[in-house]
Structure 1
């Protein structure tokens, strides 16, 4: 029941820490900021920040006329009425958009196999930072040049290839060269949805049939909206990726090397760590709870928490961070979209100590 409630709450767009804080308030409130911080194991400053966000969503009541300030969960009936009002507002907006335009500019419905493949190729060519894809094996030969070009541009490419062997009767990867095809390649022996998430900007979703069955009435959707990229990336990594087999890993970059994507740095750090190497890092970062200030973190890589590459080191599918031992203590540093970690990295340089 608790996990079901947690999932429902996160559907409102709350981060993991925000969800933990709200559940703590729900179970323990009314409570002071100090009590909530202790129960949720977060800083008091973060409790204040999260409480204001929750208050804006009408999920909690901040009693700042008390000394000390107390925070309590809003009554369920008030939350329900607020959600109904928001849903009604959204319905009116959607109805206006739907009847006022045949199709939103940032959402495209693709109907033919050739259009779908062309769109996938365009999105791969346009990528600059990160690609996560699940593709049927049959389309890999068509897209392999675009994928290799992305890897050559230093784009982090996470590729899941799938196929149902009982349908094709042979090894789907027998004629496919995996060398340089992606940073990491995984395989799953069953039919899956076709998905692509690119650069925290755009996403693509369809069933396998839109590619493998040319006369299929199935349609694909291409969306140029950052929040949908996050949804597709999370869905792909949380379910399909973690339940597939690793079949190819690109060799790590020679050090020193500077990365603009922390996940790529974490992959290389994992590989070097498995070899017993000691690595140091210099990271240009921003604190997750205070993103306005840039800090320069320097220290030894103490470990990596991730589920991208084997061996995995953390049970949470989306988790990917470097544990950095600095002079002030050990901190966790994630990618620029991190919310579990202490810091978000924007530029990371790994090197061997002199």
Structure 2
């Protein structure tokens, strides 16, 4: 760095033009009288005394009397520390500017479009860690492994976790170790085709990014109940329903928990047709005021708009219309709907089969 560049750097650090001129000259002279210093730099003699007092107050120099006013540069250690601190602050500010340019404040928007996959992935980690009810995740094995600590937290909190595992490119996933899923997933299915990254958490948050080989790279962050429902249907129909199960922690004996009313109906309708008595525990909200509610009672009827022979196993798509449960609880007959319920009295967040007899 030459002398001119040093003076410019000092001005950027907060010194005035005259202050930087005088300080650089004094560094070269070591010590000098005020008039000698004025002659050695571009500071007018009439201004040199004010400039020296200002530099002394900033800790750059010290003045002393020797027939007339003299000055010498202070030990530069404190000056260097101040400059390094300022440089670090500016570097941090530059990073923050870049971050804010690339990553909008997602907590203020129902829908945010971002540029980096890392933004989507980090947001997914945050949402999963706080999940209490359900996580639906479409990820590669490497992405699952990176998210596993967050998934384990959600699993420990009682969330049901569905994972659709897909390859990064076109190669098959051949090494599936069930041990890696224990405590981090309720059920895992294997989709054989490369797929976008998708995460749906507790019905209000969704994170999406196209496959890494897609032409356009971006991310979508959703913080909205209705928009998240769209991603839920994409996950269920394209990434979940038709693919093979490779791991399941779900028990076949009560209590058996469901977060999706349609999967519940697929399993329970044959039981009702066989005359079984099914006791259910429903956690949800009242549809008219969104207040939390719990119901325990006997499932007495299932209504859905699909047409199917009595012994058929209904597909998820056949149950795409209205699905309604009727539960008798403490002398009341209550109607239970699923995600987005409007016509029923209760929207179920979780349905648990407590007993079958």
Q: Which of 245, 263, 266 is the aligned partner of 2:264? A: 266
Match of 1:204 in 2: 207
Task: Give yes or no for contact 2:285–2:347 (8 Å, CA) kept in 1.
Answer: yes
Are residue 152 (structure 1) and residue 156 (structure 2) matched? yes
In the alignment, structure 1 segments of 5+ residues that lack a partner are 1-101, 306-310
Partners of 1:254 and 1:242 lie apart in 2 by 22
Change in CA separation of 1:292 and 1:187 when aligned onto 2, cut-off 3 Å: closer
Other structure's SS at 2:174 match: coil
Are residue 137 (structure 1) and residue 144 (structure 2) matched? no
Partners of 2:264 and 2:236 lie apart in 1 by 16
Match of 1:120 in 2: 124
Q: Give the Å deviation of 1:190.
A: 0.5
Q: Which of 186, 191, 199 is the aligned partner of 2:194? A: 191
Q: 1:79-94, aligned counterparts within 5 Å?
A: none
Other structure's SS at 2:247 match: strand
Match of 1:338 in 2: 341
Q: Give the Å deviation of 1:151.
A: 1.7
Partners of 1:174 and 1:295 lie apart in 2 by 37
Deviates more, 1:279-288 or 1:151-160: 279-288
Are residue 316 (structure 1) and residue 318 (structure 2) matched? yes
Task: Give yes or no for contact 2:283–2:349 (8 Å, CA) kept in 1.
Answer: yes
Partners of 1:144 and 1:161 lie apart in 2 by 13
Q: Give the Å deviation of 1:161.
A: 1.1
Q: Render the CA deviation track for 1:282-301: whole Å, top value 9, x for unaligned.
A: 5477786x678979562146
Task: Give yes or no for contact 1:286–1:345 (8 Å, CA) kept in 2.
Answer: yes
Change in CA separation of 1:255 and 1:176 when aligned onto 2, cut-off 3 Å: closer
Other structure's SS at 2:241 match: helix
Partners of 1:180 and 1:295 lie apart in 2 by 26
Partners of 1:144 and 1:260 lie apart in 2 by 22
Are residue 235 (structure 1) and residue 220 (structure 2) matched? no
Task: Give yes or no for contact 2:237–2:317 (8 Å, CA) kept in 1.
Answer: no
Q: Give the Å deviation of 1:110.
A: 3.8
Change in CA separation of 1:233 and 1:283 when aligned onto 2, cut-off 3 Å: closer
Work out which of the two has the higher radius of gyration on C-alpha atoms and give 1 or 2.
Answer: 2
Change in CA separation of 1:225 and 1:297 when aligned onto 2, cut-off 3 Å: same
Change in CA separation of 1:336 and 1:295 when aligned onto 2, cut-off 3 Å: same
Q: Render the CA deviation track for 1:303-337: whole Å, top value 9, x for unaligned.
A: 798xxxxx755543657967456499997633353
Q: 1:92-103, aligned counterparts within 5 Å?
A: none
Q: Render the CA deviation track for 1:187-234: whole Å, top value 9, x for unaligned.
A: 11011111112222221111121xx89xx9722122222222112112
Are residue 351 (structure 1) and residue 354 (structure 2) matched? yes
Partners of 2:289 and 2:113 lie apart in 1 by 36
Change in CA separation of 1:124 and 1:241 when aligned onto 2, cut-off 3 Å: same
Q: Give the Å deviation of 1:351.
A: 2.5
Partners of 2:260 and 2:241 lie apart in 1 by 19
Match of 1:221 in 2: 220
Task: Give yes or no for contact 1:131–1:199 (8 Å, CA) kept in 2.
Answer: yes
Task: Give yes or no for contact 1:127–1:155 (8 Å, CA) kept in 2.
Answer: yes
Change in CA separation of 1:278 and 1:149 when aligned onto 2, cut-off 3 Å: farther
In the alignment, structure 2 segments of 5+ residues that lack a partner are 1-103, 305-312
TM-score (norm 2): 0.51
Q: Which of 159, 166, 175 is the aligned partner of 1:162? A: 166
Q: Give the Å deviation of 1:122.
A: 1.4
Q: 1:66-77, aligned counterparts within 5 Å?
A: none
RMSD of the alignment, in Å? 4.8
Q: Give the Å deviation of 1:177.
A: 2.3
Partners of 1:326 and 1:148 lie apart in 2 by 36
Aligned residues: 244
TM-score (norm 1): 0.52
Task: Give yes or no for contact 2:324–2:344 (8 Å, CA) kept in 1.
Answer: no
Other structure's SS at 1:299 match: strand
